[in-house]
Structure 1
Amino acid sequence: MLTVLKQYPSGVNLLLASAFVLTLGRAITLPYLVLYLSSRYQLSIAAVGTTVGCALVAGSLLSLYGGYLTDRLKPYPLILGFTGCFVAAFIGMCVTSNLILFFLALVLFNFAYSVIDITAKAAFGRLLPSHEQSRVFSLRYTLINMAYAVGPFIGAALAGVNMSLPFVLSAALGAGFFWLYIRYGDRELGCAPAQTTPFSFAQVGKVLLNDRRLVCFTLGGILSAVVFGQFSAYLSQYLVVTSDPQRVYSVITTLLAVNACGVITLQYWVGKRIDAQHLTRWLMAGLVLFLAGLAGFSMAQSLTAWAFAMLLFTLGEIIVFPAEYMFIDRIAPASLRGMYFAAQNLSNLGGALGPIVCGLVLAVWPAPMMFYVLAGFLIVGGALYLLGGSLSETRR
């Protein structure tokens, strides 16, 4: 991986560093929000879920405006400004004793993280030729998963000493990247090419809604993300209903380990082979692997069977994530790349919806029905991907 990084300009490597460092800050703290909120603010589990879920949804919706800013401003001030917001949000969550202020800080953190993510993805399209972008998107996703692999363990160690320490370290990581970007950030990298007549935010929204390819792809992404966005949450719900607590712990920890190891070892190797000419085929292959993984989960009895199903599911994840980014980059006008990536970022709404849908299914129907319902989301999402891909072919 280090050999590959040396091939890219420093601006690309710094944007890749942002993915690792800021995601590490996120991964250190987010797994312990439930415990922190319930212990510091005496909230019920339902109230904690509502608080965290609403903050994630609000951050995703606000990121649409962040995409608009990405197309109007240079990356350098945007990344610095929102990294400052990232740091301020964690400091705010650490010091406040007011739940409303904590919620606002949590929304600010999610908004800042989303805007930096969109800005980086849009900048890759300006810094690199199209044939290099699949490698960079795969490398970036590998770094993100490396951060998620180690972050919770660091957070657990710190939380055992003091529940506020994960927030302190997350803020420190953000501050460290802020200093790094001030020194080495690319001040010359321009914003998107300007429109002859500047669009307002509302006008840009109408442009996006009129692009049927983007609408199909965004809806397909939201429906598909119901399945892969928060898989650990709904699998935990399923296991709680069908198994004893000790088995829930052993299966989930095994699945998370298989997923993290699979992504870290295979993401770059598989991702660099995804070519822009056959993106729809790659997406369909990824969704088929997701379906195979769901089928494996529904039939798994042994820990080995669970792990094998997770490996199939992970291969689907490895393919779908970079292919989604490449599809958006291919259809986005140069002047609206940030807004297009922001629209694609709305797939996070599907991730938030997954545990809710699965909880309702588990409450009403036999537990295995959950996997059939999830398969239905994938099939409809895949049909929308196909429709968007076919519209893209006719537009070329």
Structure 2
Amino acid sequence: MLKKRQSISLKWLLLGVLITNTAMSFIWPLNTIYIHETLHKSLVIAASVLFLNQLATMLGSLIGGKLFDSWSPYYSILLGIVLNIFALGGLIFFHAWPAYALLLILSGLANGISVTCENSLATRVGNHRSSYVFNLLYFASNFGLVFGTLTVGYIMPLGIGYVFAIATIIQVLFLVVAVINYNIQFNQTMGDRKQGIKKEKLTPKILGALIMVLICWLIYEQWQSNLSTFMVEKGFKVKNYSFLWTFNAILIVLFQPVVTHFDELLLKHIRGRLNIGILLLLASFALLLLPFKDNYGLYVTSMCLLTLGEILLFPGVASFVDIESPRSLTGYYQGRVQMFSALGKAIGPLFGALIIDNSNYEFLFLICILMALFALVIFSWPVFSKKI
């Protein structure tokens, strides 16, 4: 019988996040290429599958948060991991159409449960502020993505089945880590529970933060989707675009520890941290409106601003919501952070594509700037209101 704990060890939580993001990074870079080139489906269908994957992630976040609070943090995260093992394991043998799409959507549901539980557990790490832990989780997740995306290029020539097999094995390793080290149980007083039930609503402050993060992810997704075709049209090679994401990873590795070092100061000025993050995202798109689009240095500088913005912004939102929410409903509120993030990721590529099809890239960049300003206003406005 595994011993139940009141808090989770930071090292095991970080290892779990590193493992699961490494596994998922074996899959996501291949989705569009595999559906379009191998399964011979249109780019619209490929985009639709990814959209449904993100919607499933949203549903998983909702389920994961509810189960974390009302059932068991331990069994909730194990459920997410087991479902993901089932989905990825199925892809080893069934990666034709439509099984690929269905299993990918199931994986999105499972990942939503797991990530929400991971973020909720981050608030229960002994001897560490949750904001400090969120910063480290963001670092670990990105490090896992870098490792996975670099490795998958060497595995893919062996066959797509090997990619799914390794991703499944990595998830099984995550299951072992979780079974042994994530067996925690929180003692909650009746007063805590009543406080949680009473506050099971999105206050203006939290709602403003959630709408803001949705908008920011929608903007951020333009870099991961539509900027690649923009750069190719300007005469750059795909490898030039790919290097920008390598540069992104390097910057995260270098600067995330700096942000973590100054966590106490940034926590005291959490709103300032998030506002600066939004402004940096805005500035990255403002640069793209300059008349030097054949200069590669412009894109490198823009990516630098984007990366510094995401380092401050995305882990900071989870910290802000944790500060403003009752401890007894950690899963409920962290699940909402993941839901709104997933929604932004889901509609971002389609949103950008529609604007480009009906106008041009420059108009898209201008819209992104205006939306960033709108996010800034939305995030600031609830300060002056106490009730919805």
**TM-score > 0.5, shorter chain as reference:** yes
Q: How many residues align?
A: 375
The residue identity in structure 2 corresponding to 1:124 is A
Which residue pairs with 2:4 in the alignment? none
- Among 140, 144, 159, the alignment partner of 2:137 is 140
- Among 84, 105, 108, the alignment partner of 2:106 is 108
- Among 165, 185, 190, the alignment partner of 1:189 is 185
CA contact 2:68–2:117 (8 Å) conserved in 1: yes
TM-superposed CA distance for 1:157, in Å, is: 1.3
Partner Cα separation in structure 1 for residue 189 and residue 237 of structure 2:
52
Cα deviation, 1:338-392, whole Å, max 9, x if unaligned, reads 010111112221122222122122222232111111111111111111124455x
SS of the equivalent of 2:262 reads coil
Which residue pairs with 2:312 in the alignment? 319
Which residue pairs with 2:212 in the alignment? 220
TM-superposed CA distance for 1:56, in Å, is: 1.5
Which residue pairs with 1:378 in the alignment? 372
Partner Cα separation in structure 2 for residue 298 and residue 146 of structure 1:
31
Partner Cα separation in structure 2 for residue 282 and residue 21 of structure 1:
29
Question: For structure 2, which runs of at least 5 residues remain unmatched after alignment?
Answer: 1-6
Which residue pairs with 2:121 in the alignment? 123
Q: How does 1:1-396 map to 2 (within 5 A)?
A: 11-96=9-94, 99-128=97-126, 132-183=129-180, 185-190=181-186, 207-209=200-202, 211-229=203-221, 231-240=223-232, 242-244=233-235, 247-274=236-263, 275-299=266-290, 300-345=293-338, 346-391=340-385
- Greater Cα offset, 81-90 or 167-176: 81-90
Partner Cα separation in structure 1 for residue 33 and residue 320 of structure 2:
38
SS of the equivalent of 1:30 reads coil
Which residue pairs with 1:5 in the alignment? none
SS of the equivalent of 2:284 reads helix
CA contact 1:192–1:334 (8 Å) conserved in 2: no
CA contact 2:50–2:346 (8 Å) conserved in 1: no
- Greater Cα offset, 89-98 or 137-146: 89-98
CA contact 1:192–1:337 (8 Å) conserved in 2: no
Partner Cα separation in structure 2 for residue 79 and residue 220 of structure 1:
27
Partner Cα separation in structure 2 for residue 214 and residue 364 of structure 1:
34
The residue identity in structure 2 corresponding to 1:44 is S
Partner Cα separation in structure 1 for residue 360 and residue 217 of structure 2:
23
- Greater Cα offset, 221-230 or 340-349: 221-230
SS of the equivalent of 2:40 reads coil
SS of the equivalent of 1:291 reads helix
Cα deviation, 1:107-135, whole Å, max 9, x if unaligned, reads 22112222222112212222346x73222
- Greater Cα offset, 254-263 or 267-276: 267-276
Question: For structure 1, which runs of at least 5 residues remain unmatched after alignment?
Answer: 1-8
CA contact 2:49–2:101 (8 Å) conserved in 1: yes
| 1:239/1:186 CA distance change after superposition, 3 Å | closer
TM-superposed CA distance for 1:93, in Å, is: 2.0
| 1:237/1:107 CA distance change after superposition, 3 Å | same
For the aligned residue pairs, the C-alpha RMSD in angstroms reads 2.5
CA contact 2:73–2:184 (8 Å) conserved in 1: no
TM-superposed CA distance for 1:168, in Å, is: 0.6
Cα deviation, 1:293-334, whole Å, max 9, x if unaligned, reads 111223243112211121111111110022101101001111
Deviation beyond 4 Å, 4+ runs, structure 1: 191-199
Partner Cα separation in structure 1 for residue 59 and residue 174 of structure 2:
25
Partner Cα separation in structure 2 for residue 186 and residue 353 of structure 1:
33
The residue identity in structure 1 corresponding to 2:122 is F
Partner Cα separation in structure 2 for residue 97 and residue 261 of structure 1:
33
Partner Cα separation in structure 1 for residue 195 and residue 38 of structure 2:
47
SS of the equivalent of 1:31 reads coil
CA contact 1:66–1:115 (8 Å) conserved in 2: yes
Partner Cα separation in structure 1 for residue 384 and residue 237 of structure 2:
42
CA contact 1:72–1:191 (8 Å) conserved in 2: no
Which residue pairs with 2:3 in the alignment? none
TM-superposed CA distance for 1:281, in Å, is: 0.9
TM-superposed CA distance for 1:191, in Å, is: 7.1
SS of the equivalent of 1:167 reads helix
| 1:208/1:93 CA distance change after superposition, 3 Å | farther
TM-score, structure 2 normalization:
0.89
SS of the equivalent of 1:23 reads helix
CA contact 2:89–2:165 (8 Å) conserved in 1: yes
